[in-house]
Chain A
Amino acid sequence: MIQYTDKIREIAGRLLKDGTVEVFIGYRKGTVPMMNEPVLIRDPDQVDTLHWDVNCGLNLCNYLTRRTEKIGILATGCNSRNIVTHIIENQIKREQLYIVGIPCTGMVDHRAVKRAVGGKEILSAEQQGEKLIVKGADFEKTFEIKEILQSNCAVCRHRNPVEVDEMVADPVPEQEGVEPYKDVESVEGMEPRKKWEFFTRLISRCLRCYACRNACPLCYCPTCFVDESRPQWVGKSNDPTDTMTFHFLRAYHCAGRCTDCGACERVCPVGISMRQFTKKLNKDAEELFSWEAGLTLEQRPPLDVYRPDDYNDFIK
């Protein structure tokens, strides 16, 4: 996306030069293909390191927590909703931010690409418009980006940022008729024992590396419950029960806050779909409280307010 990249560099340079912001948070090309990485730029002469394409799936909001300077930041639909959530939760002030909005058409699932080339080493992956051209030592393959999107992006209903100061381009049309919770529904239809087996199998390869937690902007606690040792809330080994407790509680800590940005899933070294936990909570929040996280600065999230008509079927 050369146009976006040029425009981002131009905006970042202008903001840093005229002092609107002291630091600009964006992406640069990663050292390996399909792994663009976050970068913080302070010097207007370095804006040329900024880069944008379909491999910018990490969530930049993660780098905002409790910063004190004036910050320029790129935001896709989901990232902007995390920024809104950060503001609501007092982790950053709106006045500190200059949000540069990106109309987003989705990020590429690097695992799907890797699978499609039979696990061979990929030496480069360049985006050309709607296509991704992937090259290795002895092969070249062209993908339609639409067909290799991350599973969260394929069902995304908020591709345009919700809170911006300036847009990089005109908004893109939102996807109509997507069924975001099909996977959750199929689990809901199972018997309890089958559900348990489904989730046990899902997390069986988990290494407890906590990359999913670290990549998530919602997980900003100074000491996470899994790291606490006095008291120790959950065992630290990879005992299956402890691992289930970790996943269950991590998801619950994201209840009513998760934007389904997919960063957690993207970074997992063993490819676990831990969004199956958070998506159930997103679905409940939507069905029981008509709530989708981070859409507005005006409303408090459901777990933070009491209304007499709140859902309470579970309480006797």
Chain B
Amino acid sequence: MKNLLEHIGIEPGRLHFSWISSAEATKFVDVANQVYEAVKEVGPAQVFIKRLAEVA
């Protein structure tokens, strides 16, 4: 999934997968921080965005 998304042009660093048990609070915090840092680095998404039709 990740490979194909990156193949069609989603930046590496935007999509993250992790397996965290409900008992792993510290892992959750770590992963959330890493995701935040990584996504901040690639910046706001420019592609694969659906713009809703403007309604007056």
A residues at B contact (CB < 8 Å): 184, 187-188, 192-200, 235, 239, 241-242, 244, 248, 251-252, 255, 277, 280-281, 284, 314-316
Q: With A239-B50, A314-B17, A315-B19 as given contacts, are A197 and B9 in contact (CB-CB < 8 Å)?
A: yes
- Interface bin, chain B: 20 to 34
Q: State whether A316 touches B50 (Cβ < 8 A).
A: no
Consensus secondary structure, chain B interface: loop
Contacts of A196 in B (CB 8 A): 8-10, 47-48
Cβ < 8 Å to A, chain B residues 10-54: 10-12, 16-19, 31, 34, 46-51
Docked CA distance A255–B6 (Å): 15
8 contacts between A and B (CB under 8 A): A193-B9, A200-B9, A235-B50, A239-B50, A251-B4, A255-B4, A280-B4, A280-B7
Q: What CA separation (Å) do A194 and B9 show in the bound complex? A: 7
Question: Do A244 and B48 form a contact, CB below 8 Å, given A196-B8, A315-B19?
Answer: yes
Q: How far is the CB of B34 from chain A (nearest CB, A)?
A: 7
CA distance A200 to B17 in the complex (A): 25
Q: Measured between alpha carbons, how far is A315 from B35 in the docked complex, in Å?
A: 12
Q: A314 to B8: give the CA distance in the assembly, Å.
A: 17
Q: Are A248 and B19 in contact (CB under 8 A)?
A: no
Q: Output the nearest chain B residue to A316 by Cβ-Cβ distance.
A: B18
Question: In the bound complex, what is the Cα–Cα distance between A195 and B5 (angstroms)?
Answer: 10
Complex: A192 Cα to B1 Cα, angstroms: 16
Closest-by-CB residue of B relative to A194 is B9
Distance of A290 Cα from B33 Cα, bound (Å): 35
Report the minimal beta-carbon distance from A218 to chain B, rounded to whole angstroms. Answer: 16
* Residues in B neighbouring A315, C-beta threshold 8 A: 17-19
Q: How far is the CA of A196 from the CA of B14 in the complex (A)?
A: 14
Taking a contact as CB atoms under 8 Å apart, the answer to whether A199 and B9 are in contact is yes
Across-interface contacts of B48 in A (CB, < 8 A)? 196, 241, 244
Given known pairs A315-B18, A316-B31, the reply for A195 and B50 (CB within 8 Å) is no
How far apart are B30's CB and chain A's nearest CB, in angstroms? 9
Q: Is the CB of A252 within 8 A of B9?
A: no
Name the B residues within 8 Å of A248 (CB-CB).
Answer: 4-5, 8
The answer on a CB contact under 8 Å between B34 and A316 is: yes
Which residues of B have CB within 8 Å of A197? 9
Enumerate chain A residues within 8 angstroms of B4, measured Cβ to Cβ.
Answer: 248, 251-252, 255, 277, 280-281, 284
